Amino acid sequence: MEDIRGRVTKNGIRIYEDADFAGMRAAGRCAAEILDMVAQYVRPGVTTALLDDFIREEIERRGVVSATIGYKGYQHASCISVNHVVCHGIPGAKILADGDILNVDVTVIVDGWFGDTSRMYVAGSVPRKAERLIEVTVESLMRGIAAAKPGNTFGDIGYAIQSFVEANRMSVVRDFCGHGLGRVFHAPPNVLHYGRPGTGAVLEEGMIFTIEPMVNLGRPETKVLADDWTAVTRDKSLSAQFEHSVGITATGCEIFTLSPAGKFHPTWS
């Protein structure tokens, strides 16, 4: 029923309305609040399964739905990607050690709307190189978001991210991208985190999508392990990622997944 209303661009990108933005706001806030709560459990000695157990129980407690449990056979409420894992790390028996860095990615469904966000955490004291990687990655996301406004193109977003990352002598992963979302998890467009200014589809008010750059200290190439999910850097270098769900407004964009507690960046304390 909801798919009859509204418009889709010639690139297949759905244009959403004010009431839809309200739905995304609630879903994005829920996902961000859960990530805020995760921070207190991250320390050396805990397993990634413990973090995922907390997330699953918190999703249940809130009476909302995990978008990842059952998605293409995935069985967990989060993806947890430690050190050289780029994305889609499977929570499990792995025990966090002092100096480990990890991305926790949560997607919830609230009243049918998908809120998708991820951020970095550190266990114990973070090595300087890892801290720089995290800082460059979160700044690259915010530069991509700054380019997300009507009249700009998706290439402008990719260029803002890639040029900043490469100026810092790090690399942008090409094998995974952001995505449209709304009442579905993954929809057009593919949001590339690299590109040339002025290329790609033009951004319009009402578009809703994620920006989720993965940045490596070494080379950009990845490979997927035999579990068919875990993506790692081919050269074993450290990787970081941050993700926001955003909606294009008349003048810029609204970030649906801002941290209510101001804990998006791991050095918040």
Minimum distance from residue 116 beta carbon to ligand MF3 (Å) = 5
Among 27, 28, 68, 222, contact with ligand MF3 (rule: CB under 6 A) = 68
Among 25, 84, 88, 263, contact with ligand MF3 (rule: CB under 6 A) = 88
Stretch that binds ligand MF3, among 42-50, 69-77, 160-168, 199-207 (CB under 6 A): 69-77
- DSSP one-letter code for 89: P
Q: Choose the one of Co ion, ligand MF3, none that binds residue 156, judging by a C-beta under 5 to 8 angstroms depending on kind.
A: none
- Cα dihedral 115, 265, 134, 141 sign: positive
Among 52, 58, 116, 156, contact with Co ion (rule: CB under 5 A) = 116
Beta-carbon-side half-sphere exposure of residue 11 (alpha carbons within 13 Å): 16
CA 155 to chain centre: 18
CA distances from 229 to 73, 156, 225 (A): 10, 30, 7
Among 32, 34, 51, 79, contact with ligand MF3 (rule: CB under 6 A) = 79
Token duo for residue 150:
């009507």
Label the pairing between strands 113-122 and 79-82: unpaired
Q: Choose the one of ligand MF3, Co ion, none that binds residue 68, judging by a C-beta under 5 to 8 angstroms depending on kind.
A: ligand MF3
Q: What is the dihedral of CA 17, 25, 107, 120, to 10 degrees?
A: 130
- Residue 46 burial (C-beta neighbours within 10 Å; 0-12, 13-18, 19+): middle
Stretch that binds ligand MF3, among 43-51, 65-73, 92-100, 137-145 (CB under 6 A): 65-73
Residue numbers of the site for Co ion (CB under 5 A)? 105, 116, 118, 210, 243
Residue numbers of the site for ligand MF3 (CB under 6 A)? 68, 71-72, 74, 79, 88, 105, 107, 116, 210, 212, 243
